[in-house]
Amino acid sequence: MWQEIVFWLCAAGAVGTGIAVFRVDSMARATFALLASFLFGAGTVLLVELTYLGVLVILMMIMEMVIMVVFMVMYMMNPAGLMPMSMLHNQRGSLAIAAGTFALLTAGIYLVDWPTSRAPRPGDPTKALGEALMGPKMLVMIVLGLALFATIVATVVLATNRGRYDRYGDRLERDRPDDPVRGGVGR
């Protein structure tokens, strides 16, 4: 009983705050409304006892939204930041996409013959899910992880506009790097 109440609260909250994202006129409010929407979403994940995933969604979403809001306020504006701005762009197109996606998903829920299982629920669904996903493919996962990490490092190296040759000279001959702010660890 209480689970149903909580589910509907979370569902209504997620949709309500999701709508609020486009109703408020400030970048910060929009971001935090979006964050609230994600947190309500995390509530539903917690309801199906995927504790780890639920808590992780809370953790990651807060971090991501806070970092996003800093970037939003600093970069993406005129006239956002400290001033109000509208979050609405390309209204007709986005309305069509949203309605289409909603119709597709709802149709999916009602039309697909979802399988049911008679097997007992595992004690720790997160662990079971993890093993089912990763167990037989651990090597693939490890390689994927390495590839991802290498991609991140490579992206940063390509994106930085001051590498070690700029800091230490073309032959790395300087003792002290030439930095905008001098000093730091070991210098």
Q: Would you tell me which residues interact with another protein (CB under 8 A)?
A: 26, 28-29, 32, 35, 51-52, 55-56, 58-59, 62-63, 65-67, 69-70, 73-75, 77-78, 81-83, 124, 161, 180-185, 187
| Residue 151 backbone dihedrals phi, psi, to 5 degrees | -60, -45
Nearest distance from C-beta of residue 20 to another protein, angstroms: 12
Contacts for 28 with CB less than 8 Å, ≥ 6 apart: 69, 72, 73
Nearest distance from C-beta of residue 147 to another protein, angstroms: 20
| Conformational region of residue 78, where left means phi above 0, alpha means psi within -120 to 50, and beta covers everything else | left
Check if the beta carbon of residue 33 is closer than 8 Å to that of residue 24: yes
Nearest distance from C-beta of residue 12 to another protein, angstroms: 20
Nearest distance from C-beta of residue 120 to another protein, angstroms: 18
| Residue among 26 and 44 whose Cβ is closer to another protein | 26
Structure tokens at 23: 């109703």
Structure tokens at 65: 């939204």
